[in-house]
Amino acid sequence: MLGDCIHNLRSSLDHLACQLARLQGDYSDKAFFPIFKRRYCIGKNGTKKPCLNVNMRPDIRKVLNRIQPYNRTPIGRRLALLHELDIRDKHRAMLVVAGAARGATMQLIAGGRPTGAKDRGRVTRVSTKPLEHGKPCVTFSYPDAQLEVDPHLKIAVQVVFGEGGPASGRGVLGVVDDLIRLVKREVIPMFLPFFGERQMRSQSIFRDGDLVWINSTIPTWFIAHHLRH
């Protein structure tokens, strides 16, 4: 499900690129939304040329250039992350793991009643590594020796991206929420003026049974394209 979400976000940008290409009569559906970490690429004959060599109008290419990762802007870095996650999901496996987000304990129980706040334990260590079977993830300390398992001990589990890949150690929900905001509220609105649309304001999607209604703030060209497909 996470991979589908990431891929759908990346694909929406490719749909945008196809519509931008059609503004100058290119209906081949071969356009893609460029995301490059390097400004220049080396060709087969060893020549150096700009990586951003798309068949787009100069004014559109200017906007595309401004948000590329090689400019090291916040938008560019997040676009690079979206692209890397999509590639990783398509060609390997999305590495997500469970990690101990925090530990919490209330108070000890003696004879069916709380013993009081003085016996309350505290968290002294939370492992930052992925959970492993049989290995401690949270360490607690108590004012007095505690020989039994605290029945009020609770450990929250957070799903994070695994080590060695994009967004390593970061929470999945936070990353995906930010990428949705990036595509929906930052990147797509930059290109709306090229279609004669006003800048996109807040969008609202609400459900009515099994139907999903989208309000009129979404550009008409985007709706028409997806209805055809």
Mean pLDDT of the chain: 77
pLDDT in the model for residue 216: 41
Between the CA of residue 97 and those of 2, 8, 94, 119, 160, what are the distances in Å? Answer: 12, 22, 10, 33, 6
Residue 82 and residue 102 in one domain:
no
pLDDT in the model for residue 70: 94
Tell which of 109, 143, 161 closes a domain. Answer: 161
Contacts 24+ apart (CB under 8 A), 56-59: 56/20, 56/21, 56/24, 56/31, 57/23, 57/24, 57/194, 59/194
Q: At residue 212, does pLDDT exceed 70? A: no
Q: pLDDT for 158-185, tens place per residue?
A: 888 877 788 888 888 899 999 999 999 9
Neighbours of 24 (CB within 10 A): 10
Percent of the chain with pLDDT over 70: 74
Tell which of 112, 131, 161 closes a domain. Answer: 161
Q: Which residue bears the tokens 């490719």?
A: 14
pLDDT in the model for residue 94: 62
Give the Cα separation of 200 and 216 in Å (integer): 10
| Domains: count for the chain | 2
pLDDT level of residue 220 (50, 70, 90 thresholds): low
Residue 83 and residue 180 in one domain:
yes
**pTM for the whole thing?**
0.69
Q: Could you list the residue range(s) of the whole structural domain that residue 146 is in?
A: 98-161
Q: pLDDT for 47-59, tens place per residue?
A: 887 888 777 888 9
Q: pLDDT for 59-102, tens place per residue?
A: 999 999 999 999 999 999 999 999 999 988 877 666 677 777 66
Residue 191 and residue 217 in one domain:
yes
Cα four-point dihedral sign 34, 37, 43, 44 = negative
